[in-house]
Amino acid sequence: EKLFHNRDHSDVQTLNSHQAEVITDKYKAELFLSRYGFMKPVNWEEIQFEDSHTSFSGDFLNDLQATIQEGASVPHSRDAPQDDYMIPTESEAFASALKEFQKVSGLPVTGVFDEATKVAMNKPRCGVPDTEIDLNTAVAAENSSASDIENSPGDTYETDSNNTSEAVRRR
Amino acid sequence: KRHLAALVSKSRRKRDLGETGYMAFSKKVLKWRLIGEGYSSQLTVEEQRYIFRLAFRMWSEVSPLEFVEDTRSPLEDIDIRLGFGTGRHLGCNQRFDGTGQEFAHAWFLGDIHFDDDEHFTAPNAGSGISLLKVAVHEIGHVLGLPHIYRPGSIMQPSYLPHESVFEMDWMDRKAIQHLYGGCKGRFNTVFDWIRREKTPYGEVVIRFNTYFMRDGWYWLYENRNNRTRYGDPVALQIGWRGVPLDGVDACVHVWSRKRDAVYFFRGTQFWRYDSENDGVFTQDPEGHRYPRLISEGFPGVPSPIDTAFYDRRDSHIYFFKNRLVYAFDVEANSLARGFPKNIRDVFPPVVSGDHPDGNIDAAYFSYTHNAIFLLKGARFWQVVGSRDRWRWLFLPRNGLLPHKEVDQHWFDICNVHPTALKL
């Protein structure tokens, strides 16, 4: 702590109690990979909407109902995994998912949960899975590889060599 | 319960998650709102709304979509709802994880949630996570774009802190246009504005920029970058003081050894523009006050005109009105002999039947392409140049080559919603 602070304590960094769980081991890495669509989670429930009318399987309603109540009161629990299912570690599926993640993230493709991969997994990122998941369907797309666009070097265009246009400054 | 109602009311089907995404909206004007129960605790509400307005504007500048903030309609009528929360939030079934890692997510139905445990900052605010970048990314998802693992793409999943310029590159633009189409529309006029400038070393250099004008707006077009200037369109009065606020019919730059004059035409009147001081002249050297009547300044030329351009090859201004062309000899200050003529006689089609046939929107001599273009609607016809005729002798003088699409030659000239013109 600094000896002297601003009069209004604006320089005091309040320790934010809500810190994201750091991904440090294979289990959490698997959660990350399945959550973002790099590997198929084994036993998430599959909930489908039907085209003509909207019907739900019973579990969905219960889960959602629980969600609504929970949101109101249950404090953020840190230690136990949020839901009571376990994801079995299939080393092959895990390794190939790791390779996929490493490849699209521009990391050395080792298939091993190494330091560089750990750092990449802990970076701030968007919460939308890399293979887009239907709103409440928990099953990632069949093709576990990220179905993102990996751009092959498309056409290039002239880079602007003249002075930066004033719009950039203005924006 | 509101969220469940929204879920139930909309029938859903599993979407084809093609690599390029899907067209999430079929209409072109979309309403958005920062929801009341989802304000961030880190930025003022005004800052949050400003940043979101800018984020939506950035998408509007590169796509045919327009976005308007709506704070009054029922929530069900709002297409895109944004809000901040932490942990379990806003009835969402994907809880946030606290500071670090997941900073936001977006849902099919148009809900965007930001993790308020993250240290979101306003643009140019140094450390922290730029709310603008995250908002642009998540809006991209709501519009139907997936993650794109390409250096420079706005749709990369991981946050990229250090970038000098945060703008959409060519590929991101084509990605959204692949879903929603390109930006098409008529222009009032297109011209290159040439002016003298002094370099820091005192040298006088000639510079030009290309401008597209539509009604009361304009874009500066950066030819070498195949795009408009970041941040355009802008209102006419911002860059062209004294020019009619709601648009012009034509702009002509008479530039020769003896003359250097820029004229704006609107209706029956015209103005001369002072390039040195960047504003219209109040009067001409003889004391006539601007605006002047076209019939006085350009005897024999009818008004209002459709458009006009100056041809340096013969020092004539070519005025267009309906199917007729009026070539005006600047030196003689009168119509050239034999004019007016039918547009097909002056600009014959190279391929019969492929001709604008009058009522053109803009006639544009481009210094970049060293060619004349006639624009009408979403199409343009390039005029055969001397170089073309050396190579293909059969080409008629001033013939019009087969038409092409404007948005395939000058890219991403897009409207924004009028409410988004000024942030």
The pLDDT of B345-357, averaged and rounded, is: 96
The pLDDT of B221-237, averaged and rounded, is: 95
Sort out which chain B residues have CB atoms less than 8 A from A149's CB and list them.
Answer: 19-20, 146, 148-150, 175
Residue B39 structure tokens: 């304000």
pLDDT of residue A13: 59
The partner residue sitting opposite B137, judged by closest CB among A36, A54, A126, is A126
Sort out which chain B residues have CB atoms less than 8 A from A105's CB and list them.
Answer: 149, 158
CA distances (Å), origin B123, targets A165, B128, B164, B231: 19, 10, 11, 15
Instruction: Give the separation between CA B385 and CA B395, rounded to whole angstroms.
Output: 9
Catalytic residue, from B138, B163, B203, B405: name it: B138
Sort out which chain A residues have CB atoms less than 8 A from B89's CB and list them.
Answer: 71
Task: Give strand pairing partners of B66.
Answer: B29
The C-alpha of A142 sits at a distance from chain B's nearest C-alpha, in angstroms, of: 11
Find, among B95, B97, B70, the residue nearest to B82 by Cα. B70
Residue B138 annotated in active site: yes
Q: Find, in chain A, the residue whose alpha carbon is nearest to that of B108.
A: A135
Sort out which chain B residues have CB atoms less than 8 A from A167's CB and list them.
Answer: 220, 229-232
pLDDT of residue A167 exceeding 90: no
pLDDT of residue B57 exceeding 90: yes
The partner residue sitting opposite A135, judged by closest CB among B12, B134, B230, is B12
Strands (E), B275-410: 279-280, 292-293, 307-311, 316-321, 324-329, 334-335, 341-342, 362-366, 371-376, 379-382, 404-405
pLDDT of residue B22: 87
Chain A contacts in chain B segment 132-161 (CB below 8 A): 134, 137-138, 141, 146-151, 153, 157-159
Summarize pLDDT for A83-126 with one digit per residue, the tens: 444 444 468 889 999 999 999 999 999 999 999 999 999 999 99
Q: Find, in chain A, the residue whose alpha carbon is nearest to that of B5.
A: A54
Mean model confidence pLDDT for chain B: 92
Are A134 and B87 in contact (CB < 8 Å)?
no
CA distances (Å), origin A63, targets A51, A69, B244, B292, B387: 22, 10, 61, 74, 72
Is B421 in CB contact (< 8 Å) with chain A? no
Summarize pLDDT for A32-51 with one digit per residue, the tens: 999 998 987 644 333 333 33
pLDDT of residue A133: 33
pLDDT of residue A52 exceeding 70: no
Summarize pLDDT for B233-290 with one digit per residue, the tens: 999 999 999 999 999 999 999 998 889 999 999 999 999 999 989 999 999 999 999 9
Most A-contacting residue of B12, B111, B234 (CB-CB within 10 A), to test interface: B12
Sort out which chain B residues have CB atoms less than 8 A from A63's CB and list them.
Answer: 93
The C-alpha of A3 sits at a distance from chain B's nearest C-alpha, in angstroms, of: 24
Is B87 in CB contact (< 8 Å) with chain A? yes
Is B89 in CB contact (< 8 Å) with chain A? yes
Task: Give strand pairing partners of B30.
Answer: B67
Burial status of residue A38 (CB atoms within 10 A of its CB: 0-12, 13-18, 19 or more): buried
Residue A108 structure tokens: 């050395």
- Is the bond into B291 cis (omega within 30 degrees of 0)? yes
Residue B286 structure tokens: 């003889």
Structural contact between residues B249 and B266, judged by C-beta atoms closer than 8 angstroms? yes
pLDDT of residue A171: 44
Summarize pLDDT for B377-416 with one digit per residue, the tens: 999 999 999 888 888 888 999 999 999 999 999 999 999 9
pLDDT of residue B33: 98
Summarize pLDDT for A11-26 with one digit per residue, the tens: 665 555 578 889 999 9
Is B98 in CB contact (< 8 Å) with chain A? yes
Summarize pLDDT for B312-334 with one digit per residue, the tens: 989 999 999 999 999 999 999 99
More confident residue, B193 or A68: B193
Instruction: Give the separation between CA B330 and CA B324, rounded to whole angstroms.
Output: 19
Is B175 in CB contact (< 8 Å) with chain A? yes
